[in-house]
Amino acid sequence: FVYRIYQKYDKEHKSAFDLQYYRELPQDYSPAEMSYLYHFKRINNEDLTATILDLIRRKYLVLDTLGERVTEKNPNFKLIKNPNPDPNDTLLPHEAHVLKWFIDIVGDGSEVTLRQIEEYPKGNVTKAKTFDQNAKDFVRLAKLAGEKHDFFDDVNKSGAYSYVIIPIVYLFITLFVKNIYNITIGFTVVTCLAIIFGLILYIANIKRRSVNGNEDYVRWRAFKNFLEDFGRMEDYPMPGIVIWEHYLVYATSLKIADKVMEQLEVRLPSIEEVEGFNQSTFIGFGYRYYGFRLGYTFGRINSTINTARMNSVKTITSHTASSVGLGGRGGGFGGGSSFGGGGGGFRGR
């Protein structure tokens, strides 16, 4: 009966698309919305980095080297708010929140450095809690944006729960037989209880993408396959920098940014010769500095977010421990992540 529950309530809808690769962006929604679909309603650490990169790509934010070389261990780049963004572009609530969070709260209203972001929640519990709350607000707003797409079915599980009656009835029959024949039923009782609770837990966690949600999902999965394998596609004409920057935003949320960059470094000619190089917003950032590595900048942004997150956890945990005299966990990011998981997608320098 578990198989019947799976077939009726948990099995994904059959998609009309069945190719291995999809060579362009399947949809134009934000990387956080894509991640909400792809990772089954989860918002991960990488989605914040991807959102920042997307704001840079769309020129809501401008990168400045502050005169530092990319060969520095942790160069202190600056993010500057563009006072005149494209009037035809519109920010979603979670994107506008990121600008407010880092520029207005952490920064001075017009700019912020990466080091300021890292240091903001360090050693100050009020700032750490503010940082943590803004992280939670980002997750909440990103999930709300994802929910508007109806990516998932509203599964009526009442029929599935009816299957739990089967092991319950079997358990009562076993108890009845035991009273008549005085036989040992310990193993049977434990097995029935395990099946009952296992079924309840399984059914409670059933989630299924809608027909449209699954159609989008299989295309994003095929797009991910393409990003992972394009380096071996000799017939694939390399597009310009502008397109690759758009792709890399989603590669970040798909946790394959490193793999994509490794292939780009092999496939791209001298980056200065690539179409649209002068329009690059982050891939070619720092190109003229000795030791330039393709894509190092957005890896640095990701490490900044992770460092700030860890500083927030440490500050809140330390404050909580000192307040109660125990080594317990603090709030906010503590015990995992306000983003609901993540990791991967980038490597340290």
SS3 annotation, the chain = CHHHHHHHHHCCCCCCCCCCCCCCCCCCCCHHHHHHHHCCCCCCHHHHHHHHHHHHHCCCEEEECCCCCCCCCCCCCEEEECCCCCCCCCCCHHHHHHHHHHHHHHCCCCEEEHHHHHHCCCCCHHHHHHHHHHHHHHHHHHHHHHHCCCCECCCCCHHHHHHHHHHHHHHHHHHHHHHHHCCCCHHHHHHHHHHHHHHHHHHHCCCCECHHHHHHHHHHHHHHHHHHHHHHCCCCCCCCHHHHHHHHHHHHHCCCHHHHHHHHHHHCCCHHHCCCHHHCCCCCCCCCCCCCCCCHHHHHHHHHHHHHHHHHHHHHHHHHHHHHCCCCCCCCCCCCCCCCCCCCCCCCC
Average pLDDT over residues 219-241: 82
Please say if the pLDDT value at position 318 is more than 80.
yes
- What is the reported pLDDT for 287? 44
Distance CA 104, CA 101 (A): 6
Please say if the pLDDT value at position 68 is more than 80.
no
- What is the reported pLDDT for 281? 78
Q: Give the rounded percent of residues in the chain with a pLDDT score beyond 70.
A: 81
- What is the reported pLDDT for 341? 43
In terms of Cβ atoms closer than 10 Å to its own Cβ (0-12, 13-18, 19+), residue 131 is buried
Query: What confidence tens digit (pLDDT) does each residue in 328-345 have?
Result: 444 433 333 444 444 445
- What is the reported pLDDT for 37? 97
Mean pLDDT of the residues in the chain:
83
Average pLDDT over residues 286-306: 65
Query: Who wins on pLDDT, 63 or 281?
Result: 63
- Nearest CA among 312, 345, 297 for reference residue 78: 297
- What is the reported pLDDT for 7? 79
Query: Who wins on pLDDT, 195 or 10?
Result: 195
Query: What confidence tens digit (pLDDT) does each residue in 200-221 have?
Result: 898 888 888 999 999 999 999 9
- What is the reported pLDDT for 277? 58
Please say if the pLDDT value at position 79 is more than 80.
yes
Distance CA 153, CA 149 (A): 11
Average pLDDT over residues 20-39: 95
- What is the reported pLDDT for 35? 97
- What is the reported pLDDT for 329? 45
What band does 74 get if pLDDT is binned at 50, 70 and 90?
A: confident
Q: Which two tokens stand for residue 41?
A: 């309603």
The residues that bridge with 78 in the sheet, in sequence order, are: 64, 113
Query: What confidence tens digit (pLDDT) does each residue in 111-137 have?
Result: 999 999 999 999 999 999 999 999 999
- What is the reported pLDDT for 331? 40
Query: Side-chain half-sphere of 153: how many Cα atoms within 13 Å?
Result: 17
Distance CA 100, CA 80 (A): 12
- What is the reported pLDDT for 70? 57
Q: Please state the domain extents for the chain.
A: 17-154+210-307, 157-205
Please say if the pLDDT value at position 291 is more than 60.
no
- What is the reported pLDDT for 141? 98
Please say if the pLDDT value at position 232 is more than 90.
no
- Going across the sheet that includes 61-64, the strands are 61-64, 78-81, 111-113
- What is the reported pLDDT for 335? 35
Amino acid occupying residue 201: L
